[in-house]
A and B are shown apart, each in its own frame.
Chain A
Amino acid sequence: MSDYLDMELLRFSTAGSVDDGKSTLIGRMLYDSKSIFEDQYEAIEASSKKKGEEHVNLALLTDGLRSEREQGITIDVAYRYFATPKRKFIIADTPGHIQYTRNMVTGSSTSNLSIILIDARKGIIEQTYRHTFIASLLGIPHVVFCVNKMDLVDYSEETFHKIKRETEAFVSKLGIKDITFIPISALKGDNVVNKSEKMDWYQGGTLLYFLENVHIGSDYNHIDCRFPVQYVIRPQSDEFHDYRGYAGRIAGGVFKPGDKVIALPSGFSSTIKSIDTFNGSIDEAFAPMSVTLTLEDEIDISRGDMIVRDNNRPDVAQDIDIMVCWLSEKPLQLNGKYAVKHTSADVRCVVKEIKYKVDINTLHRMEDDREIKMNDIGRISIRTTKPLFIDEYKRNRNTGSLILIDEATNDTVGAGMIL
């Protein structure tokens, strides 16, 4: 029983352009790690037969909705789960279409790791730049480049190293923390779960080995204490008559009873009295735990406020520069007004300036084309109606991110990363 209590959770996303073998790879991982049930296997076996395919098509395991099954493509983010004795994995399966930057951004936003597929025959293509750029923009700490279809290039060491060299050359500029290359064949299973017998020249571990062992303990910020207040707990019962607790999920740092804190925006200071949970009070709490804080002093705090250490404060700002990924068919409007959600705060903003758009294939700034349409990424300045308590996205993916909402449709239209 104790073994699974030590399991960690790793969230990863997969990217690659159409036909690079993403679905096959995920199917292979699920199949070789014995995460597929008999009835699921029988269902795809039957579908494969119906389509007249000679092998059981493992890619069918990850095909979600009917319209996609009919078109034979993946059109949205789908989540898959599997576990080994070491870790539980959540896969955000995102499609590789040209126009689907939006989905990759969505799928990657919570990932610790991204797998980017490269077809060994084609080498680096436009999409490789784009996927890598998005991974770096979204602050994914670990990126694994899987050079796939090695079986079609005679498992050539030279081909693999050429792709690796070229990729390293452009990745170095992007500031991704941890990069790994693995030569695989998703179709034949080489180096996915089982070590390849065809590539003695490759000394590294298999993809699954890497996923099980990559160090993710420092992926959360455990330095800057940030506690966005989500909900105020007031029991109104005899037993807890004067109880006032601040419920939330720690967005950064480690909190302990006795810590000197201040509440933003009021700036009032106090001391943490207790950190409460249903199972009793605890000695410390860290990101991403959901807890309830009580303070020594009665100060007025509500949802949208933030409790931080008095010697380490976030920026308190109304004029904010962000990189935005646009998610809506209706382009971003200069001087347009949007609703904003940032941690537990709800404000509104106006778009003051569109500074440039990024050509995501070359990573060049385009200062003459500033129309930000669906799937575009650009740098903009917004002014909010009230101050937000922010950190740089690079430092904290929680307090450094925000979403823009169209006030007419209530649709989420922009994903913003604070610069």
Chain B
Amino acid sequence: MKSYNLNHLKELESEAMFVVREVAAQFENPVLLFSGGKDSIVCAHIARKAFYPAKVPFPLMHVDTGHNFPETMEFRDKYVKELGANLIVASVQNCIDNGLAVEEKGFNASRNGIQTVALLKGIEENKFDAAMGGARRDEEKARAKERFFSHRDEFGQWDPKNQRAELWNTFNGMKNFGENFRVFPISNWTEMDVWQYILAEEIELPSLYFSHQRDCFMRDGVVMYASDVIERRSEEKVEKMTVRFRTIGDMTCTGAVFSDADNLEKIIEEVASTRTTERGTRSDDKRSEAAMEDRKKQGYF
């Protein structure tokens, strides 16, 4: 008998398409969070495949810290246009200007914490009942227990002790008025799966992911881009370095890695031999051992 087997990427893709279609079917007003990073690009790509030949039936929302890499913004605008989708921007700067959030000060100041404020405001103002995002369970310990459909109370909060059981592929998106869901279609993917998929599907990415020359300095063993939104200490010397980014977040807290990998094959090789997790280059998780869990409870992704 002929054997019918999917390889792991196809099976993961099929699962993610199923989840995205479930969201479109079960919710009235869903949104896809789009940061311009590789995980959200993969999610958008999957959404595009899931509804083809129709357009993606929901808008994209970017939580804009105001400290994005210019390359990310350029990519975002181009990508959204190509997709033919509607883009909504939830601005952290606006929240600061309106006094909804207070900016951190000092050398390690970051807008990561107050991103949550803009995200929740964006969800509330647009009355979104489900927000999809490209978070993966392998990223961080607290995420390892996250469901595909993650129920949030009316304050957007996550209660790790009281999550709905999720069985088979039957997703329960029922909710009371005012509550909403976070949905993670690529929950089961690892960093490696994402890269392999990007290669297999020939997905375009922002140039930041590939090796290039950039003005950087070292802080606490992490390579930081010397952008004008980071205050530097006098001993932090700026030099041209050959780097790439493994994740793309806010310029204030996303570190680069030294790398010559200037194409996908080389990146995959690099990822295969790398000895630290992706999040190792993000200073926001290092603040305490349970940093991610605390932020999730407050409504962060």
A interface with B by C-beta (< 8 Å): 1, 4-9, 37-40, 43, 47, 63-67, 69, 75-81, 83, 87-88, 90, 102, 105-106, 109-110, 217-218, 220, 222, 230-231, 233-237, 239-240, 243, 245, 247-249, 254, 276-279, 286-290, 292, 303, 327, 339, 341-344, 397-398, 401-403, 405, 410-412, 415
Number of A-B contacts (CB under 8 A): 181
Please name 15 pairs of A and B residues whose Cβ atoms are closer than 8 Å in the assembled complex, sorted by A: A5-B200, A38-B275, A38-B276, A64-B141, A65-B145, A83-B192, A236-B54, A249-B17, A327-B165, A398-B169, A401-B170, A403-B167, A410-B172, A410-B176, A415-B165
- Give the nearest-CB partner of A229 in chain B: B25
Contact status B14-A290, CB under 8 Å: yes
* B277, A39: Cβ atoms closer than 8 Å: yes
**The residue from A64, A344, A398 contacting B144, defined by CB atoms under 8 A apart:** A64
CB within 8 A of A222: which of B4, B161, B192? B4
Q: Given A5-B200, A37-B275, A290-B14, do A412 and B172 touch, yes or no (CB 8 Å)?
A: yes
Binds A, one of B43-51, B74-82, B206-214, B236-244: B43-51
A6 to B190 CA separation, bound complex (whole angstroms): 17
State the CA gap A20–B2 with chains docked (Å).
41
Least distance between A325 CB and chain B CB atoms (Å): 9
Residues of B within 8 A of A248 (CB): 21
Closest B residue to A74 by CB, please name it: B145
Q: Let me know if A412 and B190 touch, CB within 8 A.
A: no
Q: Would you call A290 and B18 a contact (CB within 8 A)?
A: yes
For residue B138, CB closer than 8 A to chain A, the reply is yes
| A233/B170 contact (C-beta < 8 A), A37-B275, A77-B145, A88-B193 known | no
Kindly list chain A residues whose C-beta atoms are within 8 Å of the C-beta of B275: 37-38
List the B residue with the shortest CB-CB distance to A230: B21
Contact A412 B167, beta carbon cutoff 8 Å: yes
Contact flag A235-B290 (CB < 8 Å), given A65-B160, A290-B18, A405-B174: no
Residue of B nearest to A409 (CB): B176
Q: Is B265 an interface residue (CB 8 A)?
A: yes
Docked complex Cα distance between A41 and B54 (Å) = 46
Contact B49 A344 (CB under 8 A): no
A286 touching B4, Cβ below 8 Å: yes
New A-B contacts (4) at CB < 8 Å, excluding given A245-B53, A344-B25: A1-B199, A8-B8, A249-B17, A410-B176
Q: Digit string of B180-221 for contact with A (CB within 8 Å is 1, else 0)?
A: 000000011010110010011000000000000000000000
Name the distance in Å between A189's Cβ and chain B's nearest Cβ.
21
Closest chain-A Cβ to B125's Cβ sits at a distance in Å of 24
Query: A341 to B167, alpha carbons, bound, how many Å?
Result: 11
- Contact check: which of A47, A83, A235, A289 meets B10 at CB < 8 Å? A289
Q: Tell me which residues from 129 to 168 in chain B have a Cβ below 8 Å from any Cβ of chain A.
A: 137-138, 141-142, 144-145, 160-161, 163-168
Chain A residues, Cβ within 8 Å of B51: 231, 233, 247
Bound Cα distance from A90 to B7, whole angstroms: 14
Q: Which of B17, B160, B200 has the most CB of A within 10 A?
A: B17
Residues on A with beta carbons closer than 8 Å to the beta carbon of B55: 235, 237
Task: Tell me whether B4 and A239 are in contact (CB under 8 A).
Answer: no
Q: A64-B144, A79-B137, A288-B14 are in contact. Are A233 and B54 (CB under 8 A)?
A: yes
Q: Is B175 an interface residue (CB 8 A)?
A: yes
Interface residues of B in 1-43 (CB under 8 A from A): 3-15, 17-18, 21-22, 24-25
A250 to B: closest C-beta gap in Å: 9
Nearest neighbor of B192 in chain A, beta-carbon distance: A83
Count of chain B residues near A, Cβ 8 A: 64
* A249 cross-chain contacts in B, Cβ below 8 A: 14, 17-18, 169
Verify B165–A64 contact, CB threshold 8 A: no
Q: CB within 8 A of A79: which of B22, B174, B188?
A: B188
Partner of B174, one of A40, A77, A90, A410: A410
B160 and A67 contact, CB distance less than 8 A: yes
What chain B residues lie within 8 Å of A292 (beta carbons)? 52
- Residue contact A78 to B52, C-beta cutoff 8 Å: no
**B124 CB within 8 Å of chain A:** no
Task: State whether B165 touches A66 (Cβ < 8 A).
Answer: no
Residue of A with least CB distance to B288: A66
Take A109-B168, A410-B176 as given contacts and tell me if A66 and B14 are in contact as well, using a CB distance cutoff of 8 Å. Answer: no
Contacts A231-B21, A243-B53, A277-B49: A79 and B280 contacting too (C-beta < 8 A)?
no
Tell me if B289 is interfacial: C-beta within 8 Å of chain A: yes
| Chain B residues positioned under 8 Å from A402 (CB to CB) | 170
Cα separation A67 to B7 with both chains bound (whole Å):
37
Inter-subunit contact B196/A220 (CB<8 Å)? no
Decide if B160 touches A403 in the complex (CB within 8 Å).
no
Specify which chain B residues have a CB less than 8 angstroms from the CB of A415 in the assembled complex: 165, 167
A230, B18: Cβ atoms closer than 8 Å: yes
Nearest first, the 7 A-B pairs at minimum CB distance are A278-B49, A290-B17, A410-B174, A235-B54, A9-B8, A38-B275, A278-B52
B274 at the interface (CB under 8 A from A): yes
Q: Which residue of B lies closest to A284 (CB)?
A: B4
Contact between chains at B4 and A234 (CB < 8 Å): no
- The answer on a CB contact under 8 Å between A81 and B142 is no
Closest to A6 in B: B7
- Within the complex, the shortest CB–CB distance from B7 to chain A, in Å, comes to 6
Q: Which of B24, B49, B188 is within 8 Å of A231, CB to CB? A: B24
CB distance from A47 to the nearest CB of B (A): 8
* B5–A8 CB distance below 8 A: yes
Q: How distant is the Cα of A63 from the Cα of B142 in the complex, in angstroms?
A: 9
Which of B54, B145, B168 contacts A401, CB < 8 Å? B168
Complex alpha-carbon distance, A401 and B55, angstroms: 32
Report how far A248 CA is from B50 CA in the complex, Å. Answer: 9
B165 contact from A67, A106, A303, Cβ within 8 A: A106
Query: CA A402 – CA B161 in complex, angstroms?
Result: 24
Q: B293 contacts the other chain (Cβ, under 8 Å)? A: yes
**B13: A residues at CB distance < 8 A:** 290
